[in-house]
Structure 1
Amino acid sequence: MTTVTSGISFMRMMIAAAIALATASPVWADLVKVDDQGQFVQLINGKTLTRPLIKIKVSPDGEIAGRGSLWDIEGSWSWQDGYFCRDLFWGGDELGYNCQEVQASADGRIKFTSDRGAGDSAMFSLR
């Protein structure tokens, strides 16, 4: 009986550990500010930024292209003073020039916040 009892205790301990791991907030999923162009290019190179109904490619050479809902997205970007600065057109409408704070996580999320981090935000998955 000791073996069965210790086996049950071990199983309870393993289940408790699995539950604790599943409900823990992983530190690696936290968003971290992207400060330099090289780090940004490494994140986006060969990837597509996606969110519902939107798919955008941001190329290392400064081009932006994709599709949002039913309209084409196109534009250009540069890196200035720690910010992603873009000039964007969506469906032919100019969205204008804006420098945005970029944050990324190790789990493949990237967040852009307009007006150098003081404005609206958009979260994308990198795929």
Structure 2
Amino acid sequence: MFRKTLLATLVFAASMSVAAADEIRRIHSEARMIDLVAAHTYKDAKGNWVRINANGTMVGQYGGKSLNANWVWSGAYWCRNGHLGGAEIGSDCQEFYASRTQFHTIRNKGKGDWSSLMTRQ
């Protein structure tokens, strides 16, 4: 009985540490954002997708429209500017939150709307 309880406790503790390691956290540097997110394709629940590249570009599709944009890191913010379906989307610096499998942003330097949660494919 003791061995079963000990084994169950160890399995539970190991699963909790894996979950904690993949917790979404605020990203404060370009290097960390690139390490976590760059060169992977992410999708949201609506089927929109994006790929953020380490070279400062990103591509994707939102609402059936093609996304082509550039990004830079400025202070503590991820800033993007580009076109969605040929229309200018404007510049916006955003708080960036990520784990190894997901990310989202909060527009207007953390004072605006949350973006959709994007999950690595």
1:82-93 correspondence runs (5 A) = 82-93=76-87
Q: Among 48, 60, 63, which residue is 1:54 paired with?
A: 48
How far 1:100 sits from its partner (Å)? 0.5
Aligned to 1:103, the other structure's residue is in SS state strand
TM-score by length of 1: 0.75
Stretches of structure 2 that go unaligned for 5 or more consecutive residues are none
Stretches of structure 1 that go unaligned for 5 or more consecutive residues are 1-7
User: How many matched pairs?
Assistant: 118
- Structure 1 vs Structure 2: percent identity of aligned residues? 19
Q: Find runs of 4+ consecutive structure 1 residues off by over 4 angstroms.
A: 8-15
TM-score by length of 2: 0.78
Q: Among 28, 32, 37, which residue is 2:25 paired with?
A: 32
Q: Which structure has the greater CA radius of gyration? A: 1
Q: Among 111, 114, 119, which residue is 1:118 paired with?
A: 111
1:43-73, Cα deviation, whole Å (9 max, x unpaired): 2222012113211111111111111232101
State the partner residue of 1:4.
none
Does 2:101 align with 1:108?
yes
Change (3 A) 1:12 1:71: same
Aligned to 1:61, the other structure's residue is in SS state coil
Cα distance in 2, alignment partners of residues 103 and 96 from structure 1: 21
How far 1:34 sits from its partner (Å)? 0.8
Aligned to 1:41, the other structure's residue is in SS state helix
State the partner residue of 1:94.
88
Superposed CA RMSD in Å reads 2.5
